Amino acid sequence: MRVLDISDNKLFCDACRELAGIVSESDFKPDLIVAIATGGQVMLSEVQPLLDIASVTVRRQRMATTSKSRLKGLLAILPMWLKNALRLLESFVRELLFEIKKRKICNSGIFDVGLSIPQVLLESGEITDITNASKILIIDDAVDSGGTLDDVYHFVLRINPQAQIRSAVLTMTFKNPQIHPNYYLWQRVLLRFPWSLDS
């Protein structure tokens, strides 16, 4: 695994356009984009004009993001090599804990069937945008455990069970997330985005 810095706006925009190009060249022609805030929402400004379709934005906050924001001042003074090492360590620990939790669930014979899905909120657009779409593309910046993407996928599926749903992200960091995106640029690469706390 490595860290790739795309915190420069041009590099980030180029990556978003490349991902949009991969989707537009595929056999899937979406008529709605569901952007996951915050990363997918930022990507939307680059992806949407290339695909030329309507969009809505949804939100599901990760617990780790709130606690990491308290460290922003400290991260600003650290050298880049240390920031990269901390990112790699955090990802390793998060993935290890995810795999341990997955094993415990499998060994217990108890499977989550979606009864306790965290709240996903529609931030912009209308529910009817989702119900009227036949092919929906969910976009986000990254998939780690896949929890957020899985929650948003099921949120959309509950609203429109007949829709074909695919997903696109810039990077998939964990080896075995609970849901795999259909389109991605990088695998096993941690990206430093323009909004990253350590950029």
Question: For the chain, which residues make up each domain, given as ranges?
Answer: 2-192
**Helix (H) or strand (E) run with residue 185 in it:** strand 183-187
Tens digit of each residue's pLDDT (9 = 90 or more) over 131-179: 999 999 999 999 999 999 999 999 999 999 999 999 999 999 999 999 9
Q: Please tell me the predicted confidence (pLDDT) of residue 146.
A: 92
3-state helix, strand, coil in the chain (%, to 5): 45, 25, 30
Instruction: Please report the pLDDT score of residue 92 as a whole number.
Output: 74
Query: What pLDDT score was predicted for residue 104?
Result: 60
pLDDT band at 102 (very low <50, low <70, confident <90, very high): low
**Residues 43 and 141 sit within 8 Å (Cβ to Cβ):** yes
Tell how strand 135-143 and strand 121-124 pair up.
unpaired
Q: Which amino acid is at 15?
A: A
Amino acid, single-letter form, for residue 31: D
Please say if the pLDDT value at position 16 is more than 60. yes
The CATH class that applies to domain 2-192 reads alpha beta
pLDDT of 43 strictly over 80: yes
Q: What is the DSSP letter of 117?
A: P
* pLDDT for the residue 159: 94
Count CA atoms within 13 Å of residue 129 on its CB side: 19
Q: Give the max Cα distance, the chain.
A: 50
CA–CA separation, 44 and 52 (whole Å): 11
Confidence of residue 69 (pLDDT cuts 50, 70, 90): low
